[in-house]
Structure 1
Amino acid sequence: MNEKVLVVEDEASIRSFTVINLSISNFDVKESSSGEEALKICENYTPEVAILDIMMPGMDGYKLCELLREKFPDIAIIMLTAKSQDMDKILGLNTGADDYMIKPFNPMELISRIRAILRRIKRSSENNMCSDLIQCKNLLLDINSQKFFKGSKELPLTQREFSLIKVFMKNIDKAFNRDELLNLAWGEDFLGDYKTVDVHVRRLREKIEEDSSNPEFIKTIWGYGYRFSKS
């Protein structure tokens, strides 16, 4: 069965060009020119990947990303932006995106990124078939059910956040640099940069720490990377 991809782009020429290339590459593609229309499409269509333009009239890509992430926690989201400033990338990642591309982009690179994300999701699913519980103080990671708990409360994590906390909790007190975390949690075929790690660490801290500005678990090793601490 062909993987389902939703393309949301208000510029008709870019949208059509993207859809044609994805269709030729055997993806099952739906297209939309607005965030509002995309949400209606998703009432009867469950995409595995969403390609979202950031700058759209009405609902922008950031808001749509948040809503799709709530509705489909495991969806892979790639943001498209005509801007190259780091802040646009960080905002996209903060709202739940997995990756971003700057317009104009090579459609073959976009397809490569989609396939890389889908391979990582498939590998993660296959690797998590065995029962495995990891606990550190009041934090519990259930790899078998893909659930994470703080005390008795289940915390919703995105697929990428879950992959990252799994690396940390399987390697308590081990220091990782950002490149190592990218390879372990995102996969060696990930084409993004290390800022993705910083954004996801910040989001994890906001969810699991009592005080994200003074973290108990995810420690920063200045000039190097991060370490998950049990002390």
Structure 2
Amino acid sequence: MVNILFVEDDSAVAEAITLGLNRLGHRVDHRCDGNGDLDTALAASEIVLLDLGLPGADGYEICRRIRAQSSIPIIILTARSDDIDTVAGLEAGADDYVVKPASPRVLDARIKAVVRRSTTSPPRSVAANVEQFGDLTVDRSAMQARKAGTLLTLTPTELRLLLALTDNAGHVLSRGQLLSAAWDQDYLGDSRIVDAAIQRLRGKIEDDPATPTVIETVRGFGYRFAPGLAR
């Protein structure tokens, strides 16, 4: 059973998904919008299923608000087919997305996969437990990273991504390799999730995310953790 906070304003969609997920053994706390205090609901939940097209405070704003205070996994649920909307939701802090209409069984599989990734520690590296890259410290034993001594608030996805990149410092990793390393070997998502997570990670570890020097983009191939910072 997974405790799910479900934010959806369409009553028919909400009822169908809630009943379906309940029948699959989950507990669903449904909210019609993101207005009001979500702190109590978040504290009792393991994942957020969040519609983007909400009245008032839209899904993007709610996603950013949740992410500012919590690393709880977030799946955005959207009827929008525009890639820009999907990417914007991922960049706001979501871990995954599902396009409506989605059956409860599809949601069940994606929810379990995201929760599994968030509760399972990344594999320990054979490299040193603590490594220094400029002012960035990666501690694999503690599963933490610090920049200039300040502990970084990383989501489980961002931490897995950082460990994969630093484990392969100096080598280019394709988006497919990063999907396998930071998500699941059998994950059915696409490279936009990697790009959005890289952008969020850059915002936390780069001095100037607009001109990244730590995580380099290698056009046509993927990303590389810049070896020039290692010492």
What TM-score, normalized by structure 1, do the two folds share?
0.90
- Give the residue type in structure 1 aligned to 2:216: K
Equivalent residue number for residue 90 of structure 1 = 87
Aligned counterpart in structure 2 of residue 207 of structure 1, from 197, 204, 207: 204
The Cα of 1:144 is off from its aligned counterpart by 3.1
The Cα of 1:176 is off from its aligned counterpart by 0.7
Aligned counterpart in structure 2 of residue 64 of structure 1, from 48, 62, 65: 62
Aligned counterpart in structure 2 of residue 122 of structure 1, from 119, 126, 138: 119
Higher RCO (CA < 8 A, seq sep 6+): 2
Aligned counterpart in structure 2 of residue 165 of structure 1, from 162, 165, 176: 162
Equivalent residue number for residue 22 of structure 1 = 21
Equivalent residue number for residue 113 of structure 1 = 110
The Cα of 1:171 is off from its aligned counterpart by 1.4
Aligned counterpart in structure 1 of residue 147 of structure 2, from 134, 147, 150: 150
The Cα of 1:212 is off from its aligned counterpart by 2.4
Structure 1 counterpart SS, 2:38: helix
**Matched-pair contact (CA < 8 Å) for 1:138–1:151:** yes
The Cα of 1:84 is off from its aligned counterpart by 0.7
Equivalent residue number for residue 33 of structure 2 = 34
Seen in structure 2, the aligned counterparts of structure 1 residues 145 and 36 have a Cα distance that, compared at 3 Å, is: farther
Seen in structure 2, the aligned counterparts of structure 1 residues 222 and 48 have a Cα distance that, compared at 3 Å, is: same
- Alpha-carbon distance in 1 for matches of 2:39, 2:194: 32
**Matched-pair contact (CA < 8 Å) for 2:215–2:223:** yes
- Alpha-carbon distance in 2 for matches of 1:38, 1:17: 25
**Matched-pair contact (CA < 8 Å) for 2:48–2:73:** yes
**Matched-pair contact (CA < 8 Å) for 1:8–1:38:** no
Equivalent residue number for residue 190 of structure 1 = 187
Equivalent residue number for residue 76 of structure 1 = 73
- Alpha-carbon distance in 1 for matches of 2:188, 2:170: 27
1:68-98 Cα shifts (integer Å, max 9, x gaps): 223321x111111111111111111111001
Aligned counterpart in structure 1 of residue 227 of structure 2, from 205, 227, 230: 230
| Superposed structure 1 runs of 4+ greater than 6 Å apart | none
Structure 2 counterpart SS, 1:108: helix
Equivalent residue number for residue 217 of structure 1 = 214
- Alpha-carbon distance in 2 for matches of 1:219, 1:183: 19
- Alpha-carbon distance in 2 for matches of 1:58, 1:213: 30
Identical aligned residues as a percent: 35
Tell which deviates more after alignment, 149-158 or 18-27. 149-158
RMSD of the TM alignment (CA)? 2.1
Total equivalences in the alignment: 227
1:143-168 Cα shifts (integer Å, max 9, x gaps): 33332111122222222111111111
The Cα of 1:141 is off from its aligned counterpart by 1.4
What TM-score, normalized by structure 2, do the two folds share?
0.90
1:123-153 Cα shifts (integer Å, max 9, x gaps): 326x46x993232121111233332111122
Seen in structure 2, the aligned counterparts of structure 1 residues 184 and 174 have a Cα distance that, compared at 3 Å, is: same
Q: Unpaired segments of 5 or more residues in structure 2?
A: none
**Matched-pair contact (CA < 8 Å) for 1:138–1:150:** yes
Q: Unpaired segments of 5 or more residues in structure 1?
A: none
